[in-house]
Amino acid sequence: MYIKPYIVPKESEIYEIHFGDIFTTPKIIYNEDEFKNLVEELKKEGKGREALDLTKQWINIKKRHFKINYKGKFIDLGVKTAIMGIVNITPNSFSDGGEYFSLKDAVNRVEKLLEDGADIIDIGGESTRPGAEPVPEEEELRRVIPVIKEVRKQLGDKFLISIDTYKSNVARKALESGADIVNDISGLGFDKNMVEVIKEFDCPVVINHIKGKPKDMQKKVYYSDVVAEIIDYFERKINYALEKGVRIDRFIIDPGIGFGKNVEHNIEIIKRLREFKVLGFPILIGVSRKSFIGSILNSFLKDKEYTPKERLFGSLGVSAYAVLNGAHILRVHDVKETKEFLTLLDTVRGYKVV
């Protein structure tokens, strides 16, 4: 049976080449010349398939620029980290439930996020926090569609809107009303018709990793290797969508921080985020105000309990590590503060010392 080799990018341009499971002693590569020599050796040994798989991964790892585009609107990713601003039209989201539940408040929220520097507006009508119950489709439509229509009417069509839903009919109605991207927390898994909507509209889609469903995803969470399992998940989901006719340049991947993971899993994903580069897709990360940040702050700074709205600096700290490890898009509540932070971070990391 063929066992696919894989590259694990480490810090300081060091790469581990694994030819078996994660416990097999890897070959260490320090530069491109050494990698080319390895590929030639594999070909001479009759291992052309291994050589091809590794070459594809190497090309993906070295990608520096991506583009999100839909109906003439586009964002270049690579030099600048993009910001996805969150608009929860829900009564029970973990951080801001009920704050933007009216049409006027929701539209004002979008306008403020755009003024603060958001590149994408992510609109959702169902809370997917741990333990949340599903919302009927009719209610979700009632919440999000009027907002999307009114936002387009008042604020124009020059920016990207993503619809945060796992229901295919909600995605369809949202795209018809002015949305551009589908952000599916189920990774096309909860509604078999979602992939057909993505194909029909030829729109970008965020493939999120989740284990279980929001109602039960934090119960008995276990992974033998959390990053390896998520990479395998992405490969299966994307291959499925490709077979259904979705174009390869339509995918954005999100490891799903907090979606069926404990604190240790979330930290490991951030620490090893660069390993997702082997897939060759833009990486979206959503850590803003999440409970694992509160857990860490509460454990080490015992002066108080940190509520979701008090986790800004913790969110920025984790986001910095994520961006330096390969994140292209940050999904956040606090756009203004994130914009200022990213302006400095992107400038410093892109500065060439002569």
Active-site position among 250, 289, 331, 339: 331
DSSP SS3 for 110: helix
| 331 in catalytic set | yes
Please report which helix (H) or strand (E) contains residue 320, including its range.
helix 312-324
Rounded Cα gap, residues 248 and 22, in angstroms: 28
Rounded Cα gap, residues 195 and 295, in angstroms: 36
Please name which of 317, 318, 225, 210 lies closest in space to residue 255, comparing C-alpha atoms: 210
| 129 in catalytic set | no
Q: Is the dihedral of CA 231, 232, 236, 239 positive or negative?
A: positive
Phi, psi of 164 (to 5 degrees): -90, 95
Phi, psi of 225 (to 5 degrees): -150, 100
Rounded Cα gap, residues 327 and 304, in angstroms: 31
Owner of token pair 């990713």: 77
Instruction: Convert 169-195 to b/e letters by CB count within 10 Å (16 or more is b).
Output: bbbbbbbebbbbbbbbbbbbbbbeebb
For residues 139 and 89, the answer to whether their CB atoms sit within 8 Å is: no
CA angle (17, 261, 322) in 5-degree steps = 60
Active-site position among 290, 311, 349, 352: 290
Instruction: Convert 100-120 to b/e letters by CB count within 10 Å (16 or more is b).
Output: bbeeeebbebbeebbebbbbb
DSSP 255-296: --TTSS--HHHHHHHHHTGGGGGGG-S-BEE--TT-HHHHHH
For residues 8 and 275, the answer to whether their CB atoms sit within 8 Å is: yes
The catalytic residue positions are: 290, 331
